[in-house]
Structure 1
Amino acid sequence: MLGMGALSALALPPVHCLPVLLITFPALGRAINRASGWKNAAWAGALFGFAFYTANLYWLVNAVMIRAEEFWWFVPFPSLGCALILAPMVAAAAAFSYLAPAGPRRLLALAASWTLFDMGRVFLFSGFTWNPLGSALAVPGVAGDVLIQPAAWIGVDGLTFFVVLGALFGGQALQDAVQVRMGRPALIFPRRADRLRIAACAAFMLCASLTASIIRLNTVHPAGEAGPVTVLVQGNVPETEKVGHLNPRDIFMRYLHLTADGVLQARKLQPPLAFADAVTRPIVFLWPETAFPGSGLLQDSPRARQMIMDWAQGADAGFIGALRVDDNGRYRNSVIALAPGGEMTAFYDKARLVPFGEYQPPFIPLQIVPQGGMAAGPGAQTWHLPGIPAVGPLVCYEVIFSGLTVDRHDRPRWLANVTNDAWFGDSAGPRQHLSSVRLRAVEEGLPIARAANTGISIAYDGFGHELARLGWGKTGTLVVPLPAALPAPLFARCGRSLPVLLSLAVFLAALVRIQRKPVK
């Protein structure tokens, strides 16, 4: 099971090797099917889950290596520790699936329970819903644009259900067909008719999904006010410089120069003044999460805020990722909105903090996070700033939380995500993070602009179609006029209740015993 779990990680971004699931998930399904009891089934799930999460979260080690001289003893723990915490969710899914009768119905129960417990990761500490298997469909380019459109109705968790279901049934049917051809007994689907039905169902569901996606892409159109012209500033500051508070003035000046250049480009996109009927779109620039050393600079120095906006002459607002100190002396990871005059018009505090990174769970006896970490904000907000379309700010990995990124009672027109993936190096981590940004755009039907310190800075429209990107390790700006929002899709209105109800219905159906009438 360890090998099958680790191999499954290849299906996730940035590799997207989906066919591997046709090998690995049937192996898990057979182990649960053959288990002598629910405890053995749970152990099979635990081993699979431990290897799966260890492999797909390997890049967490990079964050510790930045301060290896201080936390060298902690190097083995990020990936292995997270895997130990997350593996019980797979173990529980395997144990619950054992309640269903052996055979196809147990596979059906496993697909449903995997999805439900995967969604339950939102309740672990401050939540860690990283890498749901549905994100494997977010392949680069037009193919991914089509594959992820069902997220507008059922979210990434609904995609996860169908990925696991297809891998279990499709993979096992293929393997049984090979077994029979080689003169060996089939393991779960001995009858050719059953294998053909599975193939027909898979083909039908795939065709229906692709057809619905293509129809959506061609019939749903942006409506209402267009988004602003966004200037995404990517300073490309090594994390060692920020952690060590090295060259703060040089970094600050780098951001000022980049911002001035980006805003100038944005102004050139505006219609000439001679066209009186032309609509001038607001210009908003974004600096990444904790953009530069000197956490109190923006909060304590009106002069620094004024300098930023003076260099950004012509911008209607600036969104700056920065640490701030609240009235109780607690640090908060925030986005601060600056007006043209340098005034702080709004701030948003990150609500979902990274366990062991931004806050320390109280049961950990060792002091890992300085001063116990940061304080969390109240949750999703919508800013209504003068002259700016309503915007939902997000800090870093808050964007991974499906259904929890937008204020449902005050829907914004676009999303602004500031992040810093420099901690994780040029690894799979930033690419996995990026797939979450893309899926949130589809689920909410909202364009999203993302400024990342070392990359990847990017903008998507409400279909999850890439508008522009600035790659990893580059210094520069990205100027992107955002389109209008799409009408709120079904998932944006109903949230995660849809994949929950879908999975529960399938799980209960798998438990029902069908009484067959005896043949007379």
Structure 2
Amino acid sequence: MIAIASRVRALGGVRAALFAVVLGLLAVSALPPLHVLPAAMVAVPLLVWRLDATRSIRGALALGWLFGLGHFAGMIYWIAYAFLVDAGHYGWMIPFAIAGMAAVLAVFPAVALGLARVFWRPGPGRILVLAGAWALSEGLRGWVLTGFPWAPIGMVWMPFDAMIQATAAVGITGLGLLTMLMLGLPALMGDEGPARRRWGALGAAALVLAVVAGGGAWRLAAHGGGGHWAADGRWIAARDGVDAGTDQGGDAGLLRVRLVQPAIPQALKWGPGRLAANFSHHLDLSTRPGLEGRDVVIWGETAVPYPINLAPEVRAALRAAVPPGGVLITGSVRRAPPGEPTQIWNSLFVVDDEGSVRGVYDKAHLVPFGEYLPLAEWLPFKKLTPGATDFSAGPGLRTLAPGPVPPFAPLICYEVIFPGRVVAAGDPAPQWMVNLTNDGWYGHSAGPYQHFQIARLRAIEEGMALVRVAGTGVSGIVSPLGRVSPVLGLDEEGILDLSVPPPLPARPLYARAGEALPLGLAGLALVVGAMVGMGLTGRSRPSTPTAIG
């Protein structure tokens, strides 16, 4: 291992730059939907050894940016599909969009490595420094330039229910901190010095892994395994602290919902002459047998192609899709009434069986270039979504309490990707979350799968079920412990009749503390790592060769 580390540290010039880009690409394969965890187990130690080789903060910044360029280009390649929906107008932008977005996002790994380099010393302390700096940069990525905290490093553990329970305590940012520790400590196997120190680092990584996995397993066991969905969609809760795994028992769900996924391709969603047919398709799916046994029917983002608030005939037609005494939750464009300044909102409506609107939520976190065009007067193109008018942002998070159903937290599209910013404070407290989205823009790519897994994290962090309805998939329910219901996959037309699990009795620590907790822990790791390094080696610098200036 020492020989391999020495060779990696000795790389120089173009080879070193290409190596950094390839490391970033390699790390992507550990994320959904591939879940190749060994790729991250290789990439992070190699990154540590390359950071050892830098002699300056500028070199570390360059290393981080090159790593990030490969990482984000591989992660967000799927945005190209959105430009292909209207390839004649937007296809030419694909290489510029991917390269530009990757280049901007790469600034955050650059900041992480640059910050780490300030406190970088030989020895185990440098792994704490890197973990803390990385977690701080991921937290920063959630805020800067409206924020884009997509697929953070902690998501390498998504296939393992026990591992991701840590997000209930410290959020995905905190799990990212722990992940960089677990993946970075084996890099000490490449250090000179006593063998016991090298093996001790491997043992420390195993210990962190055992604590995280063991704590998650204990949490799942404490809730009886978390319950499960029966074949007929009922929610079967654990009894006497044990989930028997059978379908026997009554429905312990909070309410009964019907999820409607029409699987209408994005190219046809707003096509001339298609609006009425698409609307009818939603109604036909919604009125399949069993509607009367539901409390709520849920459609996806902008499922209704007409402004519900200005169209009484549309509200009357929607009555057919509402179960008796229940409500329909659907996405629709909301328009300002005649006589007022022209404005449109990407909205969620709650409509009852009388055709009355019982609640409205306007999307507050809009997608740049998709729903509005920054610096529009300087750019020679339009936003990607149909229509010349930019969407207006809503006032912010809120809880809807539409009477017949328990209060819920509404989220539209990528609003669900922001940890700690999905539930409004105050009363009434929501008991479940609803995420309406339209991932049809991104075709059969990694994007929709990553989006679903990100939404899954919010259910664990907040301790309440999340119901997700996507026009073309993936639609389903996530329990408060991250269990996933039967789902409708990409381009799969149909309905799901399921019960929504109730929230946990007590809100998780992260739901109460928010991002301040993991960011505070990241800062503490950075400080402690710096102190450990200085205590072991004074103020000496690594003497390893450099590849990047």
Q: Quick check: 192-201 or 101-110, which moved more? A: 101-110
- Indicate if the aligned counterparts of 1:68 and 1:75 stay in contact, CA closer than 8 A: no
After superposition, residues 15-414 of structure 1 pair within 5 angstroms as 15-103=34-122, 104-139=124-159, 144-170=160-186, 172-173=187-188, 176=189, 186=190, 188=191, 190-220=193-223, 226-261=253-288, 264-268=289-293, 283-292=295-304, 294-296=305-307, 298-314=308-324, 316-326=326-336, 327-362=340-375, 365-369=379-383, 371=388, 373-410=390-427, 411-414=429-432
CA RMSD of aligned residues (A): 2.1
State the partner residue of 2:439.
Answer: 421
Shift of 1:355: 1.4
CA distance in 2, matches of 1:242, 1:405: 28
- Indicate if the aligned counterparts of 2:306 and 2:314 stay in contact, CA closer than 8 A: no
Give the SS at the match of 1:360.
Answer: coil
State the partner residue of 2:229.
Answer: none
1:325-344 Cα shifts (integer Å, max 9, x gaps): 23532221110110111111
Q: 1:33 to 1:402 in 2, by over 3 A?
A: same
1:296-355 Cα shifts (integer Å, max 9, x gaps): 2x2222121121113434251111111112353222111011011111121111111111
Give the SS at the match of 2:328.
Answer: strand
1:73-118 Cα shifts (integer Å, max 9, x gaps): 2121232221111111111111110111322333321211111111
Gaps of 5+ in 1: 177-185, 269-281
1:367-413 Cα shifts (integer Å, max 9, x gaps): 33264621111221111111210111110111111100011323310
- Indicate if the aligned counterparts of 2:178 and 2:208 stay in contact, CA closer than 8 A: no
CA distance in 2, matches of 1:131, 1:503: 18
TM-score (norm 1): 0.89
State the partner residue of 2:4.
Answer: none
Q: Which has the higher contact order (CA 8 A, sep 6+)?
A: 2
Alignment-mate amino acid for residue 366 of structure 1: P
Alignment-mate amino acid for residue 102 of structure 2: A
CA distance in 1, matches of 2:494, 2:536: 68
Give the SS at the match of 2:71.
Answer: helix
Give the SS at the match of 2:290.
Answer: helix
Q: Quick check: 473-482 or 363-372, which moved more? A: 363-372
Q: 1:489 to 1:517 in 2, by over 3 A?
A: closer
The number of residue pairs the alignment matches comes to 483
CA distance in 2, matches of 1:377, 1:229: 29
- Indicate if the aligned counterparts of 1:332 and 1:350 stay in contact, CA closer than 8 A: yes
- Indicate if the aligned counterparts of 1:360 and 1:372 stay in contact, CA closer than 8 A: no
CA distance in 2, matches of 1:246, 1:382: 36
Q: 1:353 to 1:189 in 2, by over 3 A?
A: farther
Alignment-mate amino acid for residue 452 of structure 2: L
Shift of 1:226: 4.5
State the identity as a percent: 31
1:25-58 Cα shifts (integer Å, max 9, x gaps): 2222222221121001100000000110000111
Q: 1:465 to 1:497 in 2, by over 3 A?
A: same
Q: 1:494 to 1:317 in 2, by over 3 A?
A: same
Alignment-mate amino acid for residue 402 of structure 1: P
State the partner residue of 1:274.
Answer: none
CA distance in 1, matches of 2:537, 2:52: 26
Shift of 1:248: 1.4
Gaps of 5+ in 2: 1-19, 227-236, 238-251, 539-549
